[in-house]
Amino acid sequence: MAYDKMAYDKYAHEPFAVTADLAVLTIRDGVLHVLLVERGQEPYQGHWALPGGFVQPDESAETAARRELAEETGLSDVSGLHLEQLRTYSEPDRDPRMRVVTVAFTALLPHPPEPHGGSDAAQARWVPYDTVGPLAFDHDRILADAHERVGAKLEYSSLATAFCPPEFTLGELQHVYEVVWGTALDRPNFRRKVLATPGFVEAVPGAARLTGGRGKPATLYRAGAATTLHPPLLRPTPEGRPA
């Protein structure tokens, strides 16, 4: 759409900038990691931040998020991965430069590529979630919201498979839950529950995997057709929450 200043002034009077920011989560070495970039320019130059950037005139926020993700991670095929809108942050003073509204997204990656610094970023890096220090802007809050949302969605959706490679073992799938929730789960019960949920996973017709691991080789599974889990796979009650 062409920029029609007359139409703009007639209705809106004051311009906003719109950005798309991403909380990209993955599991590396059994630990939850998030993709961060070091800002190469003011404001917050030298601070770590979530990757993201301005939405272009011909893009939706989703498209912009996917483009930024490809640019920051060097990932060639970002079409298939899980990208989900988190929420929009629009506090008037969240960016010192001007009025910036950001649409935040959550992305989940199975086997993460090594990122490289992009145009606006001095460098990009996978950072263990627990060691993330204060971030630029309100990105701490965005990241916390993303973590909370992902944790909640694991309960009633098949989202956990988005952290896994195309073929995975039930042990790997369970590990996703344990890492995101920060709790240990009973292995036989987890297995029973997952297999009793139709469409969650399906066994790969081939054989068991033997790669490297000690112990009995595990059966390989693929993500099934189901997107929602009925009944849900609830977190163990952390506090005085009733059973």
Please identify which residue in the block is written with the tokens 């073929």. 167
Q: Rule CB under 8 A: which of 99-158 touch a copy of itself?
A: 99, 101, 103, 156
Report the distance separating Cα 109 and Cα 74, nearest Å.
13
Q: Where are the beta strands (DSSP E) in 132-204?
A: 168-169, 201-203
Report the distance separating Cα 129 and Cα 148, nearest Å.
13
Q: Which does 55 bind (CB under 5 to 8 A by kind): a copy of itself, DNA, none?
A: a copy of itself
Given candidates 29, 30, 58, 212, which one binds a copy of itself under the rule CB under 8 A?
58
User: Taking contact as CB under 7 A, which single stretch among the options 60-68, 74-82, 90-98, 230-238 is the one that binds DNA?
Assistant: 230-238
Given candidates 18, 75, 78, 170, which one binds a copy of itself under the rule CB under 8 A?
18
Q: Which does 191 bind (CB under 5 to 8 A by kind): DNA, a copy of itself, none?
A: DNA
User: Taking contact as CB under 8 A, which single stretch among the options 9-17, 130-138, 172-180, 210-218 is the one that binds a copy of itself?
Assistant: 9-17
The dihedral built from the CA positions of residue 159, 162, 165 and 166, taken in this order, carries a sign that is: positive
Report the distance separating Cα 23 and Cα 104, nearest Å.
7
Given candidates 46, 165, 192, 228, which one binds DNA under the rule CB under 7 A?
192
- Does residue 215 bind DNA (CB under 7 A)? yes
CB atoms inside a 10 Å sphere around CB 179: 17
- Does residue 40 bind a copy of itself (CB under 8 A)? no
- Does residue 219 bind DNA (CB under 7 A)? yes
Residue nearer to a copy of itself on the CB measure, 216 or 241: 241
- Does residue 73 bind DNA (CB under 7 A)? no
Task: Report the run of H or E that residue 11 belongs to, with start and end.
Answer: helix 5-11
Report the distance separating Cα 33 and Cα 26, nearest Å.
5
